[in-house]
Amino acid sequence: MLKAKASSDLVSRPIIILSATQLNKFQQKKSQRQSFTENLLSLLKKCTSTKLLQQIHTQMLINAIQKPNFLLSKIIDLKNLAYASLLFSQIPQPNDYAFNVMIRGLTTTSQNYFATLHFYYQMKFLGLKPNKFTYPFLFIACANLLELSHGQLAHSSVFKLGLDVDSHTTHSLITMYSRCGELGSARKVFDEITERDLVSWNSMISGYSKMGYASEAVGLFGKMRDEGFVPDEMTLVSVLGACGDLGDLSLGMWVEGFVTKHKMELNSFIGSALIGMYGKCGDLVSARRIFDGIPEKDVVTWNAMITGYAQNGMSDEAIKLFNGMKDAGVKPDKITLVGVLSACASIGALDLGKWIDTYASQRGLQHNIFVSTALVDMYAKCGSLDDAKRVFENMPVKNEVSWNAMISALAFHGRSQEALLLFERMSTEGMDACPNDVTFVGVLSACVHAGLVDVGWRYFDLMSLSYGLTPKIEHYSCMVDLLARAGQLYEAWDLIEKMPEKPDEIVLGALLGACQKCKNLDVSERVMQLLLQIEPSNSGNYVISSKIYANSRRWDDSAKMRVLMRQRGVNKTPGCSWIDIEGQLHEFLAGDDLLYHHIEIHQVFELLNVEMKREGYIPRVD
């Protein structure tokens, strides 16, 4: 039955009056619909697959159940960002919850940080207020993009909204400022926290450690302990990283003792950090002990040990461990490849380096900038310059390290003009790379190999005039070597005296070698005096000095150098060489008895001798 009710101030509208039977049926249907909706939402919460979620979504559409936020949150949990974006675009008026769900998913799941910024600004454009569920993820995005300006603008909004007291927001703020290199701002945020928790301390210590402020990280760790906080795994990993950078073995050992005392699990996370610390401190025995004690080793654990061996010159051990890693069924990643390629470069293991090149191509890692650069370095040091150039030219993106590796490779192989041309190309084409200290070491080395004294001086001056770089001892060393090889020994000595730092053994050794070649006793005696003070245990300095005196027929002084060498207990370090035969590395020291080696190795020696003489090599017998 319909009845009309009029009002003077309202538009007249019909009012539906239901009978008791109709009302009962309506309430039953409403109850059934509510029960169906609750069951559907309950099923949605338990959903673990996209396929089932789509079926639930279909039922919601058929039954006109408008719960987009519930659905959106679940899609994000299932890490289907494409589906989530499609659903979000269909919401007529998304609220702050919907935006926050998308921002969280884009930041943590897909790591599409640019999209995170886009959604944040779209949210503000629509007049919605970001809140404490927005800013932590926004700051993480800014940190990963190194977008300091966006982070600073958001920080001002945090103050205006009174969210600077929210712990999650302040922790992510510290991370953002730290990653962007603003450690002073990060520390200011940390100092302004009235009630710090363990996460606050961890955020600041981690920021210091990851950005190379190792001393500050260790110092803050001490203050944290003084205030009664007990470190957790996150704290210890950051501190171990700082210990490795500082070479602080004693604190690193204390951390291991702390782990043992508190019966903390020696998992991959803490175990890899301990291996890395011991590796950087040069204690490979302890590093291997930790490695062997980890029950379940993942790729990070293997990488830490392989890198430790490679960085400490134990290339053969690094390669053996790499083979063991493959036998264990653990797939190498880009970090593994870089570590093993470094080992290959050190001992000339070209065959293994080529295998890694092929493996990287099969796994889609050949264009990774770190792997490609390591390949360039490996091929160059193994004598395969054409392969080094091939890898370099195929790199889609090159950074300073990539350019430097190729310039140094060309210089090392005596192709000086190509190295200098590549430097000029870097200056014009290298949009993502600017010449740095290492670049000029390569350029000056090219001048040394070609004997280009005037060109060397021009590039030496160019460092400060055009690039604002202050020459370091490595650059002075190149210039001294360049002048010395050109026979300009007194000019080289004058440059040593003008150096802002004291000359090291490399600079002086280069000049002493040139003095021997030019038979210049005057300059050589000045150099010898300094060298024997800096390196009293280096046998080479005594031997060369003795030969210089002998060449000048000062037999008594020559004999005195030999006597002084014996009195100081200095033994001559024998030369060492490697030969790779069918994947097996054979090491030889000067004076070794080769009788027990295979006849094939003797044949290799004979072949090398013949080819060297054919190329014009004349043995020096003096």
* Half-sphere exposure (Cβ direction) of 222: Cα atoms closer than 13 Å: 9
Q: What is the pLDDT of residue 593?
A: 62
How many Å separate Cα 188 from the centre of its chain? 27
Tell me: pLDDT of 331 over 80.
yes
CA 555, chain centre distance (Å): 54
Structure-model confidence comparison of residues 614 and 234, the more confident one:
234
Mean pLDDT of 119-137: 96
| pLDDT of res. 342 | 95
Q: Report pLDDT for 22.
A: 56
What is the predicted pLDDT for the residue at 11?
Answer: 45
For position 519, what pLDDT does the model report?
Answer: 77
What's the whole-number mean pLDDT along residues 16-33? Answer: 58
How many Å apart are CA 527 and CA 482, to the nearest integer? Answer: 16
Predicted pLDDT at 473: 86
- Examine the pLDDT at 115 and tell me if it is beyond 80: yes
- For residue 550, what pLDDT is reported? 78
> What does the pLDDT look like over 289-301, one tens digit per residue?
999 999 999 999 9
Contacts for 559 with CB less than 8 Å, ≥ 6 apart: 546
Lowest mean pLDDT among 22-26, 44-48, 174-178, 246-250: 22-26
Q: Could you give the CA distance from residue 405 to residue 411 in angstroms, rounded to a whole number?
A: 10
pLDDT digits (tens, 9 = 90+) for 394-453: 999 899 999 999 999 999 999 999 999 999 999 888 667 789 999 999 999 999 989 999
Per-residue confidence (pLDDT) for residue 3, from 0 to 100: 42
Query: Among 223-227, 265-269, 466-470, 502-506, whose mean pLDDT is lowest?
Result: 502-506
Selection from 166-170, 534-538, 611-615 with the highest mean pLDDT: 166-170
Q: Is the pLDDT of residue 591 over 90?
A: no
Q: Over the stretch 381-395, which tens digit does the pLDDT of each residue have?
A: 999 999 999 999 999
Phi and psi at 269, nearest 5°, equal -65, -60
**18: pLDDT strictly greater than 70:** no
Tell me the percentage of the chain whose pLDDT exceeds 90. Answer: 57
Q: List Cβ<8 Å contacts ≥24 apart for 101-104.
A: 101/69, 101/72, 101/73, 101/76, 102/72, 102/76, 103/134, 103/137, 103/138, 104/76, 104/133, 104/137
Residue 598: what pLDDT? 63
CA distance linking residue 251 with residue 258, whole number of Å: 10
pLDDT tens column, 58-103? 777 777 777 777 788 888 888 888 888 988 998 989 999 999 999 9
CA angle, 411 then 417 then 419, to 5°: 40
DSSP for residue 331 = P
Specify the higher pLDDT residue, 4 or 308: 308
Predicted pLDDT at 233: 96
Global pTM value: 0.76
pLDDT at 406: 96
Confidence of residue 284 (pLDDT cuts 50, 70, 90): very high
**Residue 447 CB neighbour total at 10 angstroms:** 25
Q: Which residues contact 606 (CB under 8 A, 6 or more apart)?
A: none
